[in-house]
Amino acid sequence: MSYSSALLARPGAVEASGLDAGVAAHYGDPILEQRNLAGIHGKPGTAVVDLSHRGVVTVTGADRLSWLNTLSSQQVTNLAPGVGTELLLLSITGRIDFDVRLVDDGTTSWLLVESAEAAPLAAWLASMKFMLRVEVADVSAQWAVVGSTVPVSGWADRVHWRDPWPEVGSGGYAYTALPEELHPGRERTWFEYLLPLAELESATAALPLAGTLASEALRIAAWRPRLGADTDEKTIPHELDLLRTAVHLAKGCYKGQETIARVHNLGHPPRRLVFLQLDGSQHTLPAAGSDVLMGDRRVGTVTSVAQHYEMGPVALAVVKRSVDPDAALTVDDAGELYIAAQEIIVAPDAGQVAGRQTGFLRAPR
């Protein structure tokens, strides 16, 4: 069922497409909105982003956290109320089925997902209940998500998720090659607030709004992968550096763990996420899905693209692990070519080297 936000009635609102259909891409000035969201000249951001199209699933009951712990890639049994984390639900072969933003308020676990994922996630979780004390509900029709780069004044008591990216969590591991203090994700903090959908208009009436073009540009600049944009049916977490925030390498057994351990300890991910600085002389952007070329050979795919308020046109792409990190790349959008300088996100030697460093020598049983 399609969704259309009430905030699309705001002056200048232009609806987004694709993953963000149903909310505003912008309200008339995408670059100004991006500046208002990010904050400039040392001042914090002031704008918020309507993400009310996102999916919201709740899990209640005494066994909710221990149950989610057994199903997922993350250690959440003792998750403290109000602390945001990320977990993955994987296929038996380690491919990403669901990427969940999780926060627990002490009585309810709130699972925030992409809009198309809420119903399948709720159905899958319900099928896994067995005799445990848990109840699952898809409450997307009752709750709205609003994004911000700073804590929103007056919203301290509202349930919210703070993105742990790019901090390497307990049991996690970074697949980047650069020092952690230089990770561009440190320049972006991100909060997602839960509001009753009926209060969305009144709660945001006095706040400047930014569209999803703004939030996506900041996400891309922070090297933050997104399910459905930077993933496909073959994606494993290692390829996107998701072991840093969404995987606990020393927790107990869960579906897909063998692939997580085997690639980390004994091999390398077949593909890797890269950041692309695109030639801005054409005043256009390539479409997501465009080919990435090294010379005349196709080596990958652009997955996310945006106009950044400082850097100009930027993108994320997934390329073959063997691509020379120093090679100049070209993005081919149906014959229109863009020169692209790559920055390494996932290091080409990530995996087996990481396994040696951490001392994990074999997949846990």
- CATH topology for 270-352 is Elongation Factor Tu (Ef-tu); domain 3 (2.40.30)
Domain boundaries for CATH 3.30.1360.120 within the chain: 6-264
* pLDDT surpasses 50 at 360: no
Report the side by side order of strands in the sheet with 160-162. Answer: 160-162, 191-196, 143-148, 48-50, 209-210
Three-state SS at 6: helix
Distance of CA 350 to the CA centre of its chain: 20
Compute the CA torsion angle 20, 23, 27, 30 (nearest 10 deg): -20
**pLDDT (tens digit, 9 = 90+) per residue, 199-212?**
999 999 999 999 99
Question: The dihedral of CA 296, 302, 306, 311: what is its sign?
Answer: negative
Three-state SS at 32: helix
- pTM of the shown model: 0.95
Average pLDDT over the chain reads 95
Which homologous superfamily is 6-264 in?
Probable tRNA modification gtpase trme; domain 1 (3.30.1360.120)
Element (H, E) at 266: helix 257-266
How much is the pLDDT for 340?
Answer: 97
pLDDT-derived band at 354 (thresholds 50, 70, 90) equals low
Burial of 148 (0-12, 13-18, 19+ CB in 10 A): buried
Q: Write the CA distances from 328 to 284, 285, 289, 343, integer angstroms.
A: 20, 18, 19, 11
Q: Going by C-beta distance under 8 Å and a sequence separation of 6 or more, which residues neighbour residue 58?
A: 108, 109, 110, 111, 136, 137, 139
**pLDDT (tens digit, 9 = 90+) per residue, 141-196?**
999 999 999 999 999 999 999 999 999 999 999 999 899 999 999 999 999 999 99
Least confidently predicted of 89-93, 127-131, 220-224: 127-131
Domain boundaries for CATH 2.40.30.110 within the chain: 270-352
pLDDT-derived band at 357 (thresholds 50, 70, 90) equals low
Whether 189 contacts 163, CB under 8 Å: yes
**pLDDT (tens digit, 9 = 90+) per residue, 71-110?**
999 999 999 999 999 999 999 999 999 999 999 999 999 9
